[in-house]
């Protein structure tokens, strides 16, 4: 079902497509011979859209949940081709993506598929045989078997999967995956990255990382994916990354994901063994993990109302995910929230930097799906869910997160899943090197699905008139882009920011642009404040009591439509921090809100003519988050 939109103007659409780097043909294109043949712009002029977190049938849990789509299917889908999902539903993106990272779990890579393909008479263990038979009963049986396996792992009763994959199997699956990725990598048209997920899990507390290689088969085939050890810290992974770079001359980065389910362990103030974080440890973490995943299907990790009670928009994507860890093995206490949400991590990073001189949490942000269907779609009107058991069907909104298991067993209802998110990368061209380098320098942002175009530059002398000229080149020449750092300014004054937001060319208008500021005072205490800096209909929506009135709501939940008769197609301004203190470390990131639109549950309600319980939200305000710009005061 298509969204009901009023097109702002033909010019607006043309600008949006040009800036987003979208291929409007909707199909696979022939690539050029090599990345060296791609013409690069002098500065990043295009934003490229992709998914850095996707699972195929090679992931132990994805296959167990019924996924039968392989890496080739995932790449074809991302490039705009139609595929048939594991549940038999035709699937196609309205607009292809520009890049994809397939991140199948390193632990047990390909083992569930191998287990499924084993002759039954070769299986002697009663529990394994029971799971085997359940899996061969179809998606329903596979869901129950895999859920039991995951819960067993959460209770430390067994390994993650139906046995650990041998090095021989891992090598075979890894090499075949690399070969597929290489065939679909088309520099200048579509970038296919080599990657995997390192499934670090502390008793069900999520500490997962996705690895993204800058390199091709010649280097990536010299290793096999790292498997988590008994040590519940990322140090072993960083050792693996260092060894890879030293032995191959290649490059790799890690992306922590889904921090909202870590029970406070993802962004700790201490080192894993306890004790204050040292400068060396902080420096090592920042070097290996330059970006984090802020939003995905399993909730949004930007902020929590408990941590940010004065932020009226802090509760997005929180419901259902803040009560227990990933595997329901440990309840989440409010005291754990601070180590699980990105905004608080950015504040903690400033505190650690003030004490040690190094900031472990100086990271950029991306969104991605964490889909286990092999289908990278974060669109509410085209949402295929977390796994094949919740692909489009009439009752999936009221199913539990794993259909067939109770709410007590899995903790969440499926309607609490978000159709989220995407990674947006500002780069000079669509190649592995250019996109990877942009991730490394943090010139990236996240959205919950809409392809809105966001830019921010920080400097010391930007003026409103800059928006009338070539403000992009001015931003690079006289300031820093998202992900950058402003040092002490010799001339005094406060930092200024050029902010620009364009609506998704075929999506909803924008409500407002906000700047989220965090800082640390001289006593080492952290603070935050959200500034509304530009919004639609500013002459009619004057601030009242320090807040901007709601934009309104045009959603017709009986038809799952909305109208762009409110909001704005574009919002831009030059903003100066009115409360700047040159002696305080600070960060600034931009949050952009859309006008209200239907949720995927509302689209399902209309499509299947269902009546849904009142607790299920039918409207939402989707959003985008930029990477921060940091300010570092002079050394006293």
3-state SS track over 538-596: CCCCCCECCECCCCCCCCECCCCECCCCCCECEEEEEEECCCCCCCCCEEEEEEEEECC
Reported confidence tier of residue 373, pLDDT bands at 50, 70, 90: very high
- Report how far apart, in Å, the C-alpha atoms of 143 and of each of 65, 125, 308, 480, 618 are: 5, 20, 37, 48, 27
- Report how far apart, in Å, the C-alpha atoms of 344 and of each of 10, 302, 500, 525 are: 41, 9, 25, 12
pLDDT at position 335 over 80? yes
Average pLDDT over every residue of 525-531 = 98
pLDDT at position 33 over 60? no
283, two tokens: 């420096």
**Angle subtended at Cα 389 by Cα 387 and Cα 395, rounded to the nearest 5 degrees:** 125
Average model confidence (pLDDT) for the chain?
91
Average pLDDT over every residue of 340-350 = 98
Query: How confident is the model over 426-458, as pLDDT tens digits?
Result: 999 999 999 999 999 999 999 999 999 999 999
Say what the pLDDT of residue 151 is.
66
Cα 415 from Cα 385, distance rounded (Å): 10
Query: Does pTM surpass 0.85?
Result: yes
Query: How confident is the model over 482-513, as pLDDT tens digits?
Result: 999 998 888 889 999 999 999 999 999 999 99
DSSP structure class, residue 30: P
Reported confidence tier of residue 299, pLDDT bands at 50, 70, 90: very high
Say what the pLDDT of residue 32 is.
42
Query: How confident is the model over 387-407, as pLDDT tens digits?
Result: 999 999 999 999 999 887 788
Say what the pLDDT of residue 155 is.
56
Average pLDDT over every residue of 291-319 = 97
95, two tokens: 């607009």
Average pLDDT over every residue of 4-27 = 31
Q: Cis (ω within 30 of 0) for the bond into 421?
A: yes
Q: Which is higher by pLDDT, 232 or 306?
A: 306
Reported confidence tier of residue 239, pLDDT bands at 50, 70, 90: very high
Average pLDDT over every residue of 121-125 = 89
Query: How confident is the model over 579-600, as pLDDT tens digits?
Result: 999 999 999 999 999 999 999 9
Say what the pLDDT of residue 128 is.
84
Of 592, 602, 500, residue with least CA distance to 551: 592
Reported confidence tier of residue 164, pLDDT bands at 50, 70, 90: low
Average pLDDT over every residue of 354-367 = 98
Spatial neighbors of 202 by CB under 8 A, at least 6 apart, are 232, 265
């Amino acid at each position: 079902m298509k969204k009901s939109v009023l097109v702002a103007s033909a010019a607006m659409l043309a600008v949006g497509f040009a800036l987003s780097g979208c291929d409007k043909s909707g199909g696979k294109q022939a690539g050029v011979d090599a990345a060296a043949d791609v013409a690069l712009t002098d500065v990043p002029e295009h934003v490229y859209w992709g998914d850095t977190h996707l699972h195929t049938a090679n992931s132990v849990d994805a296959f167990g949940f019924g996924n039968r789509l392989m890496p080739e299917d995932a790449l074809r889908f991302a490039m705009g081709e139609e595929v048939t999902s594991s549940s038999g539903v035709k699937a196609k993106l309205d607009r292809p993506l520009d890049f994809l990272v397939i991140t199948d779990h390193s632990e047990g890579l390909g083992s569930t598929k191998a287990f499924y393909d084993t002759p039954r008479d070769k299986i002697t263990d009663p529990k394994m045989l029971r799971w085997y038979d359940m899996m061969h009963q179809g998606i329903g049986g596979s869901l129950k078997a895999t859920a039991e396996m995951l819960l067993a792992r959460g209770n430390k009763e067994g390994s993650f999967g139906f046995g650990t994959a041998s090095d021989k199997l891992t090598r075979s699956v890894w090499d075949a995956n690399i070969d597929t990725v290489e065939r679909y990598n088309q520099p200048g048209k579509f970038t296919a990255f080599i990657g995997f997920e390192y499934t670090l899990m502390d008793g069900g507390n999520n500490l997962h990382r996705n690895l993204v290689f800058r390199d091709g088969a010649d280097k990536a085939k010299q290793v096999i994916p790292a498997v988590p050890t008994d040590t519940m810290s990322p140090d072993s992974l960083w050792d693996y990354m260092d060894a890879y770079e030293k032995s191959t001359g290649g490059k790799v980065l890690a992306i922590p994901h889904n921090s909202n389910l870590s029970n406070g362990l993802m962004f700790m103030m201490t080192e894993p063994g306890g004790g204050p974080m040292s400068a060396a440890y902080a420096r090592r973490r920042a070097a290996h993990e330059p970006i984090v995943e802020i939003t995905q299907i399993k909730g949004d990790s930007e902020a929590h109302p408990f941590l940010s009670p004065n932020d009226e928009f802090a509760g997005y994507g929180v419901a259902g995910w803040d009560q227990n860890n990933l595997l329901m093995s440990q309840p989440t206490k409010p005291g754990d929230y601070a180590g699980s949400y990105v905004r608080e991590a950015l504040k903690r990073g400033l505190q650690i930097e003030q004490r040690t001189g190094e900031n472990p949490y100086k990271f950029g942000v991306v969104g991605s799906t964490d889909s286990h269907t092999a289908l990278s779609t974060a669109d509410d009107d085209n949402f295929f869910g977390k796994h094949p058991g919740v692909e489009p069907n009439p009752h999936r909104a009221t199913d539990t997160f794993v259909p067939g298991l109770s709410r007590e067993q899995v903790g969440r209802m499926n309607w609490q899943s978000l159709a989220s998110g995407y990674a947006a990368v500002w780069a000079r061209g669509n190649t592995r090197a250019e996109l990877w380098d942009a991730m490394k320098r943090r010139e990236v942002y996240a959205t919950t699905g809409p392809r809105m175009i966001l830019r921010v530059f920080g400097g010391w002398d930007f003026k409103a008139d800059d928006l009338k000229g070539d403000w992009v080149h001015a931003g690079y020449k006289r300031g820093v882009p998202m992900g950058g750092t402003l040092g002490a300014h010799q001339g005094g004054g406060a930092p200024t920011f050029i902010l620009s937001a364009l609506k998704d060319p075929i999506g909803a208008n924008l409500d407002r642009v906000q700047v989220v500021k965090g800082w640390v005072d001289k006593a080492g205490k952290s603070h935050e404040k959200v500034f509304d800096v530009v919004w639609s209909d500013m002459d009619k929506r004057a601030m009242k009591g320090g807040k901007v009135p709601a934009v309104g709501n045009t959603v017709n939940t009986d038809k799952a439509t909305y109208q762009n008769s409110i909001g704005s197609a574009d919002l831009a301004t030059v903003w100066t921090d009115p409360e700047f203190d040159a002696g305080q470390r600070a960060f600034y990131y931009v949050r952009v809100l859309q006008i209200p639109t239907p949720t995927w549950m509302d689209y399902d309600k209309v499509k299947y003519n269902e009546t849904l319980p009142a607790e299920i939200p039918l409207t939402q305000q989707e959003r985008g988050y930029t990477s921060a710009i940091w300010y570092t005061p002079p050394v006293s």
